[in-house]
Amino acid sequence: MTAKRLAGLGALATLPLAVLCVFFVLPVSGMIERGFVADGHLDIGGVLEVFTRSRTHQVLWFTVWSATAATMISVGLGVPVAYVLYRLDFPGRRLVRAALLVPFVLPTVVVGVAFRELLVPSGLLGGLGLDGSKWAIVAGLVFFNASVVIRSVGASWESLDTRPAQAAAALGATPAQVFRTVTLPSLRPAIVSAASVVFLFCATAFGIVLILGGLKYSSVESEIYFQTTVLLDLRAAAALSILQLLAVLVLLVLAGRLRRVPDPTVSRTTAGPRRPRLADAPWLGATALLLGAVALPIGTLVAGSLQVQQADGAQVWGLENYRALSGEGSNAALAVPVTQALSNSLRIAVDATWMSLLLGGLLALVVTRRSRSRAERRVRSVLDGFFMLPLGVSAVTLGFGFLITLDHGVLDLRDSRVLIPLAQALVALPLVVRTLVPVLAGIDDRLRQAAASLGAGPVRAVLTVDLPVVWRPLLAAAGFAFAVSLGEFGATSFLARPDRPTLPVVIYRLLGHPGRPNYGMALAGSVVLALTVALVMLVVERLRVRSLGVI
C-alpha cells in the first residue's frame, strides 16, 4: 500500500521534478562546478578563502539585515491590510486589491528612479534625508513585497470560518484574545509562507539595493552579479551562490518549523465580508498608510509620464509620451514599438502563468496529501522545500548556467523560445506553491475519503473537494505568476531576443538613452505595464465560483 502510494506520489511529482532538475539544478550546479574547478582540478581551498574575506561577511550581514527588516515591516503592514481588503466590505476594495499588485510588475530601475525623485534633497520627501540610506532600501523592498503578504494571507483569510471566533467572543474573549487564540493559529501557515517568500525576494533583490543605497551597500546578489559579469571570478561567485543556497536552506527549515501547526485542518465557508465598524479604524488606518506609501512613487511616475518638453525646453502637460508608444522612440531608439513589446510580454506572461500553475498545482497536491508514514512525510517536506530554491538563487547564476549547461544534444535549448517563459515560471513557482499549500493543507482529508467512498475517482475527488476551496487562491496565484512574468527582467535580460523584446526590456533601453522624450516614453511604458496588470487582475478576480457549497 505504502509503496503504491509513494509511486503515485512520484508520478504526480515527475513533471515538476524533471523541469526543476533540467532548468535549475543542472544550470546552477554547472556554474558552481566551474567555480570549484581551477585548471582542471578541484580547488576547495580557493572557495573557502572567499568565505573568510571581510567583504563577504559585510555583504552577507547587510543582506540578512535588510531582508529581515523588510520582511517584518511587510508582514506587520500586510496582515492588517489583508484583513481590511479580504474580510471587510466597502466600495472599491476589488480595485484596491488589483492596484496593490502594480508594484510587483514595475521595473526596478523605474521604481528606483521614482523613489529617488521623491527622496533627493530637492524632492517631495527630501526633508527626511533618506536618500542613499539603508532605510530607503528597506522602503523600496517593502514597496515591492507587501502585496505578497496581502494577497497570500488575504486569500487564506477570506474564506476562513468565522464561527469559532464568534464562539470565542461569545465566551467572553476580547477581540485581541480572539485574534491570538483563534484567528492567528489558522492564519499562521499562510503568514509564515508569505514571509518566507518575501524574505527570499528581498534577499535576492539586486537593482533596488544599488540604486537606493548609492553603492554604499551591497547584497550577496549584487556581489554575485559583479563577480560574474565584471570580474569573471567564478570562484567567488560560486562561493557566494553556495552561501545563498545555505541561507535558503536555513530559512526553509525554520519556516517549516514555524509553519507546522498541530492540526492544519481549517474549516472554510463562503467568503462573507462585512461592513467596517469603528473598531476597524486602526486597520483601515494601516491600509491607508500603505496605500499612500505605494501611491506616492507611482504618482511621481504617472506625473512624469504626463509631462512633455516643448521645443523651447518648457515642460507642459500632455499625452505626447503615450502617443509616442506606438512609434519607435525619439530618433528611432527602438527596434520595435512599445505596443509590440507589450504584446510580446503578454504572450510570454500567458505561457509563464499556465506553466507555473501546472507545475505548482501538481506540486501543491503532492505535498499536501496526508502522509501515512514518517518517511512519506519527510519526502513531501523535502519536495516542498526543494521548489523554493529557485527564489533564493541569483538570476545571474541561473542565466549563465543556462548557457553553459543547456548547450548540447537534446538539451541545446539556448535558442528555444520556451526558455524565457520557463525561467519566469520557475521564479513564480514558489509563489504559486506557497499560496496553494496552506489552503490545500487546510482541507479535511475526510471530505476526500467521503468522496471516494461515494464512488468518486481521484480526479473527481480533486474536482469536487479541492478545486472549489482552492479556486480563489488559485486565481491569486495566477495573478502572481502573471505579474511576476510581466515584470521579470533579471533572467529575461540574459535570454532576450533583441528583435522580440519584452516591455521591461524596452523600458530599460529607453531609460538608458539621453533625451527627455525617451525618458517620458519609459515612464509612460511603465504606467501602461501597471495598468495592464491591474486590469488583468480585475478581470481575473471576476472569474469565480459562485457557490462554495457546504465546505
Partner 1 sequence: MRAIRPAVRTSSAALAFGVLLTSGCSLIGSESDTASEPSSSGGASSSAGGTVVLVTHDSFSLPKKLIRSFESDTGYTLEQRALGDAGALTSQLVLNADNPVGDVAFGVDNTFGSRAVDAGVFTPYEGDRPDGVDAYDLPGDDDGDLTPIDNGDVCVNVDTSWFDKQGLTPPETFDDLIDPQYEDLFVTEGATTSSPGFAFLLATIAAKGEDGWQDYWKKLLANGTKVDKGWEDAYYVDFTGGGKGDRPIVTSYDSSPAFTTDGNGGTTTAALLDTCFEQIEYAGVLSGAKNPEGAQAVVDWLLSPAVQKALPTSMYVFPVVDDTPLPKDWASFAKRPTDPWTIDPASVDEHRDQWLQEWTDLVSQ
Cell of 477: 496565484
Task: Mark the segment that binds partner 1 (CB under 8 A) among 5-13, 141-149, 275-283, 467-475.
Answer: 467-475
Question: Residue 494 interacts with partner 1 (CB under 8 A)?
Answer: yes
Among the residue ranges 14-22, 147-155, 271-279, 461-469, the one whose residues contact partner 1 (CB under 8 A): 461-469
Q: Select from 155-163, 168-176, 325-333, 368-376 the region that touches partner 1 (CB under 8 A).
A: 325-333
Closest CB 518 distance from partner 1, rounded Å: 8
Q: Which of 60, 78, 84, 116 binds partner 1 (CB under 8 A)?
A: 116
User: Applying CB under 8 A, does 36 fall inside the site for partner 1?
Assistant: no
Write b or e for each residue in 445-466: b if 16 or more Cβ atoms lie within 10 A of its Cβ, otherwise e: eebbeebeeeebeeeebbebbb
Size of the site for partner 1 (CB under 8 A): 86
Q: Which is nearer to partner 1, 165 or 357 (CB)?
A: 357
C-beta separation of 156 from 439 below 8 A: yes
Q: Which of 200, 243, 216 lies closest to 67 in space, CA to CA?
A: 200
Nearer to partner 1, 82 or 419 (CB): 419
Nearest approach, Cβ of residue 529 and partner 1 (Å)? 17
Choose the stretch contacting partner 1; rule: CB under 8 A; options: 42-50, 72-80, 139-147, 334-342. Answer: 334-342
Closest CA to 425 of 382, 383, 365, 363: 363
CA dist 540 and 538 (Å) reads 6
In the complex, the smallest distance separating the C-beta of residue 77 from partner 1, rounded to whole angstroms, is: 26
Helix, strand, coil abundance in the chain, percent, nearest 5:
75, 5, 25
Tally: H helices and E strands in the chain:
27, 4
Q: Does 11 bind partner 1 (CB under 8 A)?
A: no
Give min distance, CB of 490 to partner 1, in A: 10
Cα gap 143→128, rounded to integer Å: 18
Q: Select from 85-93, 181-189, 361-369, 510-518 the region that touches partner 1 (CB under 8 A).
A: 510-518
Least distance between partner 1 and beta carbon 282 (Å): 36
Cβ-based nearer residue to partner 1, 179 or 471: 471
- For the CB of residue 379, give the shortest distance to partner 1 in the complex, in Å: 29
Give the angle 258-264-266 at the CA atoms, nearest 5°: 130
Subset of 413-442 contacting partner 1 (CB under 8 A): 414-415, 417-418, 421
Window 187-226: residues binding partner 1 (CB under 8 A): 207, 210-211, 214-216, 222, 226
Our CB check for partner 1 shows the closer of 75 and 98 to be 98
**Cβ proximity to partner 1, 191 vs 440, nearer residue:** 440
- Tell me which residue of 64, 394, 60 sits closest to 206, measured CA to CA: 394
Q: Please report whether residue 112 would count as binding partner 1 according to CB under 8 A.
A: yes
Determine, following the binding rule CB under 8 A, whether residue 346 of this chain makes contact with partner 1: yes
User: In 214-312, which residue ranges form alpha helices assigned H by DSSP?
Assistant: 220-225, 234-259, 281-305
Is 404 among the residues that bind partner 1 (CB under 8 A)?
Answer: yes
Give the DSSP letter string of 191-213. Answer: HHHHHHHHHHHHHT--HHHHHHH
Distances (CA, A) of 72 to 138, 142, 169, 309, 391: 10, 9, 29, 42, 18
Report the amino acid identity of residue 297: P
Nearest to 47 by CA among 252, 205, 250, 246: 246
Query: Is 377 one of the binding residues for partner 1 (CB under 8 A)?
Result: no
Closest Cα partner for 476 from 421, 428, 443?
428
Footprint (CB under 8 A) of partner 1, residues 250-309: none
CB 537 within 8 A of CB 98: yes
Of 76-84, 87-95, 186-194, 411-419, the window that binds partner 1 (rule: CB under 8 A) is: 411-419
Q: Classify each residue of 253-267 as buried b or exposed e, where b means 16 or more C-beta atoms within 10 Å of its C-beta.
A: eebeeebebeebbbe
Site string for partner 1, 515-544 (x = CB under 8 A): xx--x-----------------------xx
Q: Please state the closest distance from residue 335 (CB atom) to partner 1, in A.
A: 5
CB of 525 to partner 1, least distance (A): 14
Single residue of 344, 397, 526, 532 touching partner 1 by CB under 8 A = 344
